[in-house]
């Protein structure tokens, strides 16, 4: 299957992103033809600070590479290195009824949150459709908030195919329903906007601070503790196999240990799990040329596919 996903270069990744999306992406590389890119054009809709966007794109690339995106298995590039995307975006715009975009929830939500109602933000789904359709994508793995965008891409593809014949593959959104929501330090869904995250690439000091802020109840140290409703346990579980989980449950039920002990254990689990990725992340960020080289290699492969698609269209549109 041809699977494509765009990754927003928006700040620090947390363990909710990892267990909710990134881990599946890394695993999927073995069975699918994965196309993954850092969506820096899309990021421009929320900030036009060039230096920040450059830094965030570099950091995002380093993060995904160090967590296991393998540029030899997957095509991995920086969106703006394949300019055909913007060209296709303009052509697709001619096939996009205003009403289709006016119904987009994501646009309405962003306006409600105070973002400027710019044309860029409004036409964001057409750019996303170009990303998807340029590469003959079959499957787009997405969070629930992005399903509508994939449907818009499909609608646009149908319109073009109706007019010009079978140019585009019809994409399908795939929501991973099995993935459980990862809770944050306050017990609500872990999310940057709630400031309750535990960040993958946090320094030791910040990691410690984030873990110590996990909300627990006030059961006394010597008392048995309720692991089922404990936020520390819920997060630790993500890193444990069945017998390790059982061992931790026993420690809770036995009493004699406080939440501080369990938080220390969680700190060890997280540090160990991401230790190699963290070292690789730091290494890559101190060798940005290496990141550029990898992204250029990906862009070259992506461009080949993009040009094939564009060749089919140039004639039709008179270019």
Annotation-wise, does 191 bind a ligand?
A: yes
The verdict on 190 binding ligand AMP (CB under 6 A) reads yes
The item of ligand AMP, ligand TRP, none sharing an interface with residue 291, based on CB under 5 to 8 Å by kind, is none
The verdict on 132 binding ligand TRP (CB under 6 A) reads yes
For the chain, give the number of residues.
319
The verdict on 298 binding ligand AMP (CB under 6 A) reads no
Which residues touch 4 (CB under 8 Å, ≥6 apart)?
34, 35, 36, 131, 132, 135, 137, 139, 140, 171
As measured in angstroms, the least distance from the Cβ of 90 to ligand TRP is 16
Q: Which of residues 13-42 bind ligand TRP (CB under 6 A)?
A: 39, 42
Annotation-wise, does 123 bind a ligand?
A: no
Closest C-alpha to 153, from 100, 221, 225, 226: 100
**Selected catalytic residue, list 59, 110, 225, 263:** 110
Active site residue 316: no
The verdict on 234 binding ligand AMP (CB under 6 A) reads no
The verdict on 6 binding ligand AMP (CB under 6 A) reads no
Active site residue 189: yes
The verdict on 263 binding ligand TRP (CB under 6 A) reads no
The verdict on 71 binding ligand AMP (CB under 6 A) reads no
The item of ligand TRP, ligand AMP, none sharing an interface with residue 6, based on CB under 5 to 8 Å by kind, is ligand TRP
Active site residue 225: no
The verdict on 184 binding ligand TRP (CB under 6 A) reads no
Q: Which residues face 140 on adjacent strands?
A: 173
The verdict on 181 binding ligand AMP (CB under 6 A) reads yes
As measured in angstroms, the least distance from the Cβ of 189 to ligand AMP is 5
The item of ligand TRP, ligand AMP, none sharing an interface with residue 4, based on CB under 5 to 8 Å by kind, is ligand TRP
Decide: 69 and 29 in contact? Cβ < 8 Å. Answer: yes
Decide: 267 and 236 in contact? Cβ < 8 Å. Answer: no
By CB under 6 A, how many residues form the interface with ligand TRP? 12
Decide: 217 and 233 in contact? Cβ < 8 Å. Answer: no
The verdict on 123 binding ligand TRP (CB under 6 A) reads no
As measured in angstroms, the least distance from the Cβ of 238 to ligand AMP is 10
Binding site for L-tryptophan: which residues? Answer: 131
List of residues contacting ligand AMP (CB under 6 A): 16-17, 20-21, 143, 179, 181-182, 189-191
Active site residues per annotation: 110, 189, 192
List of residues contacting ligand TRP (CB under 6 A): 4-6, 8, 39, 42, 128, 131-132, 140, 142, 146
């Amino acid at each position: 299957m041809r699977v494509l996903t765009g990754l927003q270069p928006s700040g620090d990744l947390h363990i909710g992103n990892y267990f909710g999306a990134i881990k599946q992406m890394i695993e999927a590389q073995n069975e699918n033809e994965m196309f993954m890119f850092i969506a820096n054009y899309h990021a421009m809709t929320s900030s036009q600070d060039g230096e920040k966007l450059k830094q965030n794109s570099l950091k995002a690339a380093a993060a995904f590479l160090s967590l296991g995106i393998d540029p030899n298995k997957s095509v991995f590039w920086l969106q703006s290195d394949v300019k055909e995307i913007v060209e296709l975006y303009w052509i697709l715009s001619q096939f996009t009824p205003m009403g289709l975009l006016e119904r987009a929830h994501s646009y309405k939500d962003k306006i409600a949150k105070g973002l400027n109602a710019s044309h860029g933000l409004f036409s964001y789904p057409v750019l996303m459709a170009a990303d998807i359709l340029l590469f003959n994508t079959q499957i787009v793995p997405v969070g629930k908030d992005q399903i509508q965008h994939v449907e818009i891409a499909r609608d646009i593809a149908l319109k073009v195919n109706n007019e010009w014949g079978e140019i585009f593959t019809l994409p399908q959104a795939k929501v991973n329903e099995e993935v459980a929501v990862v809770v944050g330090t306050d017990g609500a869904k872990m999310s940057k906007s709630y400031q309750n995250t535990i960040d993958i690439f946090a320094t030791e000091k910040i990691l410690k601070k984030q873990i110590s802020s996990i909300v627990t109840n006030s059961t006394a140290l010597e008392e048995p503790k309720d692991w089922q409703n404990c936020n520390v346990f819920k997060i630790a579980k993500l890193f444990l196999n069945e017998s390790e989980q059982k061992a931790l449950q026993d420690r809770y039920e036995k009493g004699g240990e406080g939440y501080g002990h369990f938080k220390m254990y969680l700190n060890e689990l997280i540090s160990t799990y991401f230790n190699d990725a963290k070292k690789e992340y730091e290494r890559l960020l101190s060798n940005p040329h290496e990141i550029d080289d990898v992204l250029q290699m990906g862009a070259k492969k992506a461009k080949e596919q993009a040009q094939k698609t564009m060749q089919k269209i140039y004639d039709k549109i008179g270019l």
